[in-house]
Structure 1
Amino acid sequence: MSVISLVSMGILGLMEIKGKHMQHSKFWNFGVDKIYVDNKAKISSKTGMFLGYSPAFVVGVASFILVPVEDFRFNLFRSTITIHFFKRIFEVLFVHKYSAWMDIEAAITISLSYLICSTIMIYSHYLIQGFPEPQTNLKYFGAILFLVGISGNFYHHYLLSQLRTKGDKNYKIPQGGLFSLVICPHYLFEIMGFLEISCISQTLYPFCFALGSAFYLMGRSYATKKWYQSKFEDFPTHVKAIIPYIF
């Protein structure tokens, strides 16, 4: 499962670079035939993203009820997963200002992906209860990285939400924070958040999931930069996709 997760997410990232996008947000109808889009089953982006994150959050909460384990590393690990998806749901409901539709197939894909991956991560870590602790303990480093990642991600999502007033559906070039250096700093901090999961767990599957997520988000950020360049002639040439000064 570790290899499957890594390879599949890497392929999705490559598809984003090549122009085959997950159809939601600004890529809802980008680069596809209008008749094809009109005939696709769709839901609002807000509903789609809520459905995308909710099952994984439920899995995290349910794990505390169904598996009451006292191990600190395991509880820290599943707490960060649960908090991560709670934050995403909170942002969907109260922060993000959506303007586009979402392909219902994309919503189902996102929902199942997060549901399955979260379940596997929590269950696989549960199975190693009683095993010796790793010689190098990274759980505290992971906890700090998690706070940095989740805070940075939320801050830049908030900045994006401030680009629109109520009822406004137009896109603008983001400003503030790390947007002066990269077009997707929220993805950069999200990768940091997934890396903390692997640091706290220190097992193979969370590491492969974090690495696969990084590949996908790098591809998505590259596509996002190309989208902004196609829409705005004054898009800053020095702004990278996701890694300041590099990519």
Structure 2
Amino acid sequence: MSTTALSVNLNKIALIRNSRPGNFPDVIAHGKVCIDAGADGLTVHPRPDQRHIRPADVYGLSELVKQHPGIEFNIEGNPFAPHVGDFPGFIKLVEDVVPDQCTLVPDSNDQLTSDQGFDLRKSSEILKPLIHRLQDKGVRVSLFMDPEPEQIELAAKLGVERIELYTGPYAAAWGQPELLEALFDQYDKAARVASGLGIGINAGHDLNLDNLGRFLTIPEILEVSIGHALTVDALAIGMESAVKAYRAICQQ
């Protein structure tokens, strides 16, 4: 069993498919490749503009994961994303499939990608009923967070089971030793604070084959979600080999 679980984000597979009519590459088929190659879970981040993952992908991947006991399905996204056209709304979509985990992310519809964690000083009260609503369905809730102990303490007060540390700044500092060390210490401290509060720690954003191993020297990391870099590596070595390469680092 992996020391840290690897959840493969399939958004970029869907993005490539959406660049042409039809269903090529097939997101569900690639999800099966990832599972067969040893991934511990699958992640999707549906948005109302359906630039990549579509509701049909969410439903299809949910059925795929159900056929593989022990594999987890993680849906991440903006909890306030509304019903638009045939997008049912983020919370409705999550409630329809009841994934193992839902990672709430404070991104807006016009963001290229998620680039910051929640400021719970501003959003705790509006998040609280949504968190309880998902937990009542049996969904484990994770909040996308920056490595700030004060914010993590607020997350604990909301009763979430996990947080996902936003690792974009860590990845951006790779190759700059002085900056990297200071950032790494922040993540390490944040993980220890979360663990001490009884919160599980996930991580994700711009982690790759170069920087992942160092980050996972933080022993509290339970899961990483990786999509962009893994998909890029798959162009060179194939999806199966890419999943195996990332999982090997997670097992060290």
- What is the TM-score normalised by the length of structure 1? 0.25
Higher Rg = 1
Structure with bigger strand share is 2
Q: Which has the higher contact order (CA 8 A, sep 6+)?
A: 1
